[in-house]
Amino acid sequence: MNVETGAERLPQSPIIRPYGDTTGDGMVQLSFTLPIPHSKVAEGAAAQLANKMGMEPALVVHARPMGPDFTFFVVYGPVNHLVDTSKVEVVERDYPLLTPKEANAAIKSTLRRRLVVVGGCIGTDAHTVGIDAILNIKGFAGEKGLEYYRELKVVNLGAQVSVPQLVERARVENADAVLVSQVVTQRDAHLLNTREMSAAFRESYPSDKRPLLVVGGPRFDESMADELGVDRVFSRGTTPGEVASFLVHRLTERRAG
Amino acid sequence: MSRPVKKLDLDPATVRQARALARRVGRPIVGLARKHTTIAVERATLRLAGLAGADAEGTPWVNRLADVVRADLDEHGGLGHGVALPVWDALLRGEADDLGTLAQKASAGSIRFRLPEGRDAARARAASRKQVATGIRRIDARRRERDRLVKRIGDAPRQPWIYLIVATGDIYEDIPQAQQAAREGADVIAVIRSTGQSLLDYVPEGATREGFAGTYATQENFRLMRAALDETSRELGRYIRLTNYASGLCMPEIAALAGMERLDMMLNDSMYGILFRDINPIRTFVDQRFSRQIHARAGIIINTGEDNYLTTADAVEAAHTVTTSQLLNEYFAKEAGLEDWQLGLGHAFEIDPDLPDSFRLELAHALLARELFPAAPLKWMPPTRHMTGDVFKGNLLDGFFNLAGALTGQGILLVGMMTEAVVTPWLSDRDLALQNVRYVMNAAGNLHEDFRPAPDGFIATRARRVLGESIELLDLILEHENGLLDAIADGTFGLMKRPPDGGRGLDGVARKSSAYYNPATELLESPVVQERAKRASRDPEAAR
């Protein structure tokens, strides 16, 4: 969803430029590395790059050789670009990003019990790297995995789980959500497996009792959820915090609604 | 290791009490480890005997062979006898000329393994011992080679050793990056493993070019990187150490490969795999003991993982869990034969910088570790939790981290990056981070000579309190009927409940039968080694 930023927070004019120490001076700072030895030419090259980025004049305030082949630069200068805040487009996540603390608090106050997550890799896929990055307490990208969340009960079934096994375990555990990771994509195995999985859950649960179905993997298209019969698709680079926030959002909302 | 003057005035009786409690907690675990073997220990034994390589699908021959032996003996105790007797019995029966051929034939189903008895068993025992001894001799030779190279080329010029990470996923990218990092000042290079390798129940084979946020630990990757760093060591006139990870389901095998390829340090924690990777506790303790015996033999310095406790729990509230874990890691390490200079006990600078007196608290915790383990090269880990993406603030925080390291005499300093949690370090990030380290060491490297915390001041009081809390935690563990195992099961360590009959790799654990034989264990526990370990773990004070 694209929305325009609320106007009441903006200065009077939607047209702005960076601020150094005087309104309208347009000053920015920039640092980067060029793959050439330090020399007058290197400094000129840095200024040229800054010029091309819209900094005019560009002040190369620091140049430092890093080994024989590289030079690091710090450049200050005004940019000639204007920014129109009325034309800023923001893609909004349709759920708020929560810290583990906030997620725990939301579960506690809404569900009044721990939220149960069952996860695994289905089919012949033996790559647990995705599901483990999300579920293991070790986590991914500096975020702790779902096991870290006090109010989440995580059952990680690991690799090569069959769809009937997954459904059975979800039933036994009274799962609120089922997380499936698919890394292998040969002959669209990830799509076929996901459809088989969502069909199995639809068959064995009444629609209002079915756990939330979430799939993830590096080759999934996030817009395919409906087509695959799942509630959400996560793609490359998804962090545990995003998954946890989504689960909490959907499940506590469902309960509240 | 330089031994700083005592600054905290810790009560020696309290310190002795803490060690005695750690010993009481650890001893039953050692008993448990002695009574069990694991599929990974057996595979490591085959690797020491020289079995290498993999089949066309990439499954290592050690996995193939060990799995067939286990399946053939399934009705008669399976893994519980170990693989050495059935394997060398088959070789002596003429089923194959060498281990490689035997593994191929076994996976084709053309060999039936049995548990030899009487004279057959004695002959198999002798033959296996002879062959596994070649692997142990290789480890010994590699250790001597390291000593020789350090002597001839020169060692890191100062402490702490500067520890830098590379992690491209491609060994051929890692190599020039590691060499460049060494030229920029790194004394130790760590190659981060691919995400999830710890949960693979086999060691991948060959040079690898694809990993997730890291590079697979393989024998060939070890060899390539060590050879490249040897070259760079000669160029720079100081021996550059190489680090990898002996953790996860293949801990013993990776330890064996590291010993045979002359790696210098290995990440190896007593409980990390259990708590953070949900690996079965018994599997972990058995694998850990064997891997530490190899590290002891190979002259490898272990790095323990206490920093992980602080990335999941509050660094002030959980400070005593670090101390407790260090005491346990020390006990298990000494029992396995490691010496003080091999104990890179971990801790980290992870206190919320917004907390008043956070730096004084950091100093208290770091000094406590320093004085509890005066002869160990402590591994000092940089801030990660409170690195927000504000790279300017991050650089300042890293400066304070470096200062705390200098003031408290840390042995190994993992260089913090201001772009932590933003990107994998750029060339310029590493350069700025090393400038930061150099500035602090140059400006304040000897400040520890003038640094005397007041005997009843904030720092000394805090350190005593943390030690006291760790003693309480050890007491709490001992109150459990089954000690440490029960404590791990009921979540005494943070949020993770890990029962001894759960977790990954449980099916690879077996109780040793009366016929069990493992030549590697026998060689590693030879009377001389054992005596040293016993003495060290019984009375660590006397061993110093």
Closest-CA distance of chain B to residue A192, Å = 24
Identify the structural domains of chain B with CATH numbers, from first to last: 1-35+304-498 (3.20.20.440), 36-153+512-538 (no CATH), 156-241 (no CATH)
Mean pLDDT of chain B: 92
Of A38, A56, A85, the last residue of a domain is A85
- Contact yes or no for B243/B263 (Cβ under 8 A): yes
B415 touches B438 (CB < 8 A):
no
Same domain assignment for residues A129 and A208: yes
Q: Count how many domains chain A has.
A: 2
Confirm whether the ipTM is greater than 0.90: no
- Cross-chain residue pair A33–B276, CB shorter than 8 Å: no
Residue A52 belongs to a domain with what CATH number?
Answer: 3.30.30.60
What's the pLDDT score for residue B532? 61
Together in a domain, A70 and A104: no
Mean pLDDT across A62-85: 94
pLDDT of res. A90: 65
Look at residue A23 and tell me if it is in a domain: yes
Task: Express the helix, strand and coil content of chain A in percent, nearest 5 each.
Answer: 35, 25, 40
Last residue of one domain, picked from the residues A52, A85, A118: A85
Q: Report pLDDT digits (tens) over B14-34.
A: 999 999 999 999 999 999 999
Closest by CA to B314, choosing from B356, B351, B360, is: B351
Confidence of residue B76 (pLDDT cuts 50, 70, 90): confident
Residues A105 and A80 in one domain: no
Q: Do A60 and A138 belong to one domain? A: no
Which residue of chain A is at minimal alpha-carbon distance from B389? A142
Residue A234 lies in a domain: yes
pLDDT of residue A143: 85
Same domain as A154, residue A125: yes
Worst-scoring range by mean pLDDT, A51-60, B322-331, B411-420, B485-494?
B485-494
- Asked whether residue A2 is assigned to any structural domain, the reply reads no
CATH number at residue A113: 3.40.50.280
Average of per-residue pLDDT across A140-147: 84
Range ranked top by mean pLDDT from A10-14, A232-236, B60-64, B382-386: B60-64
Mean per-residue pLDDT for B347-374? 96
Paired tokens of B524? 């590693």
Residues in B whose CB is inside 8 Å of some CB of A read: 180, 183-184, 194-196, 199, 212, 275-278, 308, 311-312, 384, 420-421, 426-428, 431-432, 495-496, 504
Under 8 Å between Cβ of B82 and B516: yes
**In-domain check, residue A7:** no
Q: What range does the domain containing A228 cover?
A: 100-256
Q: Residue A5: what pLDDT?
A: 45
**Choice among B163, B216, B245, B272 that is catalytic:** B272
What sign for the dihedral angle of Cα A219, A222, A227, A230? positive
Same domain, A53 and A175: no
Q: Name, in order, each residue with C-beta under 8 angstroms of A134's C-beta and a sequence gap of 6 or more.
A: A119, A140, A145, A146, A179, A181, A216, A238, A240, A243
Q: What is the mean pLDDT of chain A?
A: 88
Is residue A216 in a domain?
Answer: yes
- Is there a domain that residue A93 lies in? no
Mean pLDDT of A106-133: 86
Same domain, A223 and A251: yes
Is A136 found in the same domain as A39?
no
Are A176 and A52 in a shared domain?
Answer: no
Quote the tokens at residue B378. 């402590």
Q: Has B35 been annotated as catalytic? A: no
Question: Tell me: the pLDDT tens digits for A204-236?
Answer: 999 889 999 999 988 888 888 999 999 999 988
Report pLDDT digits (tens) over B472-481.
999 999 999 9
- Please list the residues that pair with B322 across neighbouring strands: none
Looking at A40, A58, A85, which one is the last position of a domain?
Answer: A85
Q: Do A154 and A251 belong together in one domain?
A: yes
Nearest to A129 among B195, B277, B384 (CB): B195
Residue of B194, B276, B427 lying closest to A33 (CB–CB): B427
The answer to whether position A43 is within a domain reads yes
Determine the pLDDT at residue A162.
86
Which one from B379, B398, B516, B517 is the annotated catalytic residue?
A: B379
C-alpha–C-alpha distance, residues A105 and A154, integer Å: 17
Q: Are residues A192 and A240 in the same domain?
A: yes
What is the average per-residue pLDDT within B404-415?
Answer: 96
Task: State yes or no: is B272 an active-site residue.
Answer: yes
- CB contact (8 A) between residue A129 and residue B427: no
pLDDT at B275: 85
- A158 with A81, same domain? no
Please say whether the beta carbons of B10 and B372 come within 8 A. Answer: yes
Determine, yes or no, domain membership for A173: yes
Chain A partners within 8 Å of B434 (Cβ): none
